[in-house]
Amino acid sequence: MATSSPPQQFTNPPDYSFPHDRLRVMRDPSKIPIVLVACGSFSPVTYLHLRMFEMAKDYVRQNTNFEIVGGYLSPVSDMYKKQGLLSAHPSMCTIAAEDISSAWLMVDPWEAFQSYQRTAVVLDHFDYELNTVLGGIQTEDGQRRNVRVMLLAGSDLISTMGEPGVWSHEDLEHILGRYGCFIIERAGTDIDQATESLARWRHNIHIISQLIQNDVSSTKVRLFLRRGLSVRYLLPSRVVDYIDENSLYLDEATAAEKEKEREQLASSSRKKESSS
């Protein structure tokens, strides 16, 4: 199990406090408590980002000896250079979590409101806040227990872990060896190929099949918005309202963004052809 990291490693943004109001009391003492952390741009946050947590919940209950006591969306900093994105995502994620009134999903703005932080450092931050600052999570008999932090990601993100030069080997050892992860199958990514180079951490990698195929992506939502198409029922209603009220994502796409849209649309139609 992951242990706490030294506090001097972390700098907090001004006025920051770690959200923990929806952390659940642990019910079954025979299980290992875990907290799920999903990192990404969430620009904008879609129902599929939120569904990832529900899919993980079902998988955990049916296949593991873990008990989920909380889940976090951790939107990446604006300094993570990704074309066509916006700085409004932490507030959109918060609106989404409130709109769906989840009992256990929270948004941690720590990563968003400072310089770019690698995912390994983000997981250490959660481990530190949960186990060192809070002293672990509460059990039904009033005790505190250390909680294990685990990454929750789609298979497209995990496939980048096998690409040379994207993630450092030390960070992969830290993320997959020390913490572990849940991978949600995603249309367009071959899960076996995506995890081929990660075989040494197989014992810590849990693969979750998507039983209802759904390839909603933020890129496609941004494309729809630019074309004046409706995105209602792809995102929580209040996020759609927020986007409308603030006229977000209406700017012309950059060349990189257009290329990504083209790839995603091509991959969707290939999939449609192969299934018909």
Ligand X SMILES: O=C(O)c1ccc[n+]([C@@H]2O[C@H](COP(=O)([O-])O)[C@@H](O)[C@H]2O)c1
User: Rounded distance, CA 239 to CA 47, Å?
Assistant: 10
Q: Which residue has the tokens 């620009």?
A: 43
92 near 127, Cβ under 8 Å? no
Q: Which among 163, 199, 201 is positioned nearest to 181, based on CA atoms?
A: 201
Beta carbons within 8 Å of 41's beta carbon, 6+ residues apart: 75, 76, 80, 82, 85, 89, 218
Q: Which listed residue (32, 134, 216, 253) binds ligand ATP by CB under 6 A?
A: 216
Residue with tokens 């496609």: 220
The verdict on 159 binding ligand X (CB under 6 A) reads no
- Interface residues for ligand X in 109-138 (CB under 6 A)? 118-120
Residue 52: CB minimum distance to ligand ATP, A: 6
What, of ligand ATP, ligand X, none, does residue 171 touch, CB below 5 to 8 Å by kind? ligand X
DSSP 8-state code for residue 140 = T
Nearest 5°: the CA angle 107, 111, 112 is 80
Using rule CB under 6 A, residue 110 touches ligand ATP: no
Interface stretch with ligand ATP, choices 20-28, 116-124, 152-160, 241-249 (CB under 6 A): 152-160
Residue 52 binds which entry of ligand X, ligand ATP, none, CB below 5-8 Å type-dependent? ligand ATP
- Residue 136 CB, shortest distance to ligand X, in Å, is 26
Residue 264 found at the interface with ligand X (CB under 6 A): no
Q: Nearest approach, Cβ of 91 to ligand ATP (angstroms)?
A: 15
Q: Is the dihedral of CA 60, 215, 51, 167 positive or negative?
A: positive
**Binding window for ligand ATP (CB under 6 A); candidates: 60-68, 116-124, 154-162, 200-208:** 154-162
Note whether 49 binds ligand ATP by CB under 6 A.
yes
Binding of ligand X by 76 (CB under 6 A): yes
Binding status of residue 248 toward ligand ATP by CB under 6 A: no
274 Cβ contact list (under 8 Å, min separation 6): none
64 close to 36: Cβ distance less than 8 angstroms: no
Interface with ligand ATP, residue 41, by CB under 6 A: yes
> Please, which of residues 35-54 interact with ligand X by CB under 6 A?
39-41
Cα–Cα distance, 232 to 66 (Å, whole number): 35
Binding residues for ligand ATP, rule: CB under 6 A, are 38, 40-43, 48-49, 52, 153-154, 156-157, 184, 186, 214-219
Binding residues for ligand X, rule: CB under 6 A, are 39-41, 76, 80, 82, 118-120, 157, 160, 166-167, 171
